[in-house]
Amino acid sequence: MAERIGDFLVRTGAMRQPQVEAVIAAQKAGDSRTFGDIAVALGFASKAAVEGFAASRPS
């Protein structure tokens, strides 16, 4: 199974687990943005960290 973005960001130290849970809660509450967009908007992760996840995925 492919690694999820939240797991990647926690593993690389870019986010903490409670922050991941807050982003997921926002999505469940109806925020239609991507995980990465929400994490960056809330200041939980940098855009570079989110882009690092995208770059780590096989094409």
Residues 9 and 45: beta-carbon distance below 8 Å: yes
**53/59 Cα distance (integer angstroms):** 12
Enumerate the domain spans of the chain: 5-56
- Does the pTM surpass 0.85? The reply is yes
Q: pLDDT, tens digit, for every residue of 2-57? A: 899 999 999 999 999 999 999 999 999 999 999 999 999 999 999 999 999 988 88
φ/ψ (deg, to 5) at 40 = -70, -45
